[in-house]
Amino acid sequence: MSYALVTGGSRGIGRAICVQLAKQGYDILINYSSNKQAAEETQEAVEQEGRKAALLPFNVGDRVACREAVEQWYANNTDEKIEVLVNNAGIRKDNLMVWMKDEEWDDVMGISLGGFYNVTKSVLPELIKEKKGKIINIVSLSGLKGLPGQTNYSAAKAAVIGATKSLAQEVARRNISVNAVAPGFIRTEMTEDINEKDVKGLIPMRRFGTAEEVASVVGFLASDASSYITGETISINGGLY
């Protein structure tokens, strides 16, 4: 049976991705760090689509915990495999750089960039062995454009975009694709502190996007329909560049 592992899968875009991939026939591994109740709600939503869902709690920024959790899952599920990895976990700690605290830099880099490395490194050997896989990294408009107050977040997401291009070339011969999805302003808990009325005038489509709109593109990249696409970053931003 093929699983999709979605980091930060308990809420928002992560939850929408879990449900979308379940609709496409994948069983789901829901990674989360602290909010077990939200993860269980995602698990229930996946099961309503007729697929299996399991919780895989660990902080993606904790390299040891990450590797132990993934290795233990493989050891306990020898007849099953992870075919799709969605690196979605990320945090925002916005501040102008002149006032940015060291931990605001370190925490954002540790989750968004370090998490990409920790989880991908844990899953990649099995994907290579199977000669089949899809790695999809959730990045951001901020990583392409840069946004004031987000030097940490922009740096982390831009780094993952670069890593996406490099890794795609390393593993293409093994039938593994590596792509990124760059959402703009999406209506989730992560953007609750942003006044949509103040920002939507900058967006040609004059609205925030939805988590489901992001999930639909992730679903495309996880499907056979995207079989000749790798190393790409697809923007979902309503025309805001």
**Interatomic CA distance for residues 101 and 155, integer angstroms:** 15
Q: In the prediction, which pLDDT does 2 show?
A: 92
**Average pLDDT of every residue of the chain:** 95
What's the pLDDT tens digit per position in 175-194?
999 999 999 999 887 777 77
Q: How far apart are CA 69 and CA 49, in angstroms?
A: 26
pLDDT of residue 158: 98
Residues of the chain with pLDDT > 70, as a percent, come to 100
pLDDT of residue 178: 98
| pLDDT of res. 133 | 98
What mean pLDDT is predicted for residues 218-231?
98
pLDDT score for 51: 97
**Region 155-159 average pLDDT:** 98
Report whether pLDDT(198) > 90.
no
Torsion of CA 46, 212, 21, 4, to 10 degrees: -90
> CB atoms < 10 A from the CB of 215, how many?
25
Looking at residue 1, its pLDDT comes to 65
pLDDT band at residue 135 under the 50/70/90 scheme: very high
153 is catalytic: yes
Q: Is the pLDDT of residue 196 over 90?
A: no
Task: State CA 162 to chain mean position distance.
Answer: 15
Question: H helices within 102-192, ranges in order?
Answer: 102-130, 141-145, 151-171
Residue 187's SS3 state is coil
**Are 184 and 142 within 8 A, CB to CB?**
no
Please identify which of the residues 3, 26, 32, 153 carries the catalytic annotation.
Answer: 153
Q: Which helix (H) or strand (E) holds 82?
A: strand 81-87
What percent of the chain has a predicted confidence (pLDDT) above 90? 91
Q: How many residues does the chain have?
A: 241
